[in-house]
Amino acid sequence: MESNAPRSQPVEGTTPVTRALLDKKALAARLGVSTRTVDNLVAARELPRGVRLGRFLYWTEQAVSAWQDHLFAKQRAWAPKGAARH
């Protein structure tokens, strides 16, 4: 089954899009959740809103990666008590 995501093509005088666009179904699959959960995360303002192109919503890989970085920042910064941090 093909994704509905438009293919990125450079436009003269602009920087080409270097990351893929994810539609809601692809985003849900990437996160391992249902599309309903994606809707709920957006409604709760925990996940950035998608951009509507035609009748579909899309998220950039960059936006999703930034959201995940923010979500897991405390986990990455965690260290056991008494452990030295670099």
| Domain total in the chain | 1
Using alpha carbons, list the distances in angstroms from residue 76 to 3, 32, 71. 32, 20, 10
Q: Is the pLDDT of residue 8 over 90?
A: no
Q: CATH number of the domain at 34, please.
A: 1.10.1660
- What are the φ and ψ backbone dihedral angles of 70, each rounded to 5 degrees? -65, -45
pLDDT in tens, 18-74: 458 999 999 999 999 999 999 999 999 999 999 999 999 999 999 999 999 999 998
Could you tell me if 53 and 22 are in contact, meaning their C-beta atoms sit under 8 angstroms apart? Answer: no
Does the global pTM surpass 0.85? no
How far is it, in rounded angstroms, from Cα 63 to Cα 40? 17
Residue 42 lies in a domain: yes
Q: Is residue 84 part of a domain?
A: no
Give the domain range for residue 36.
21-77
User: Does 25 map to a domain?
Assistant: yes
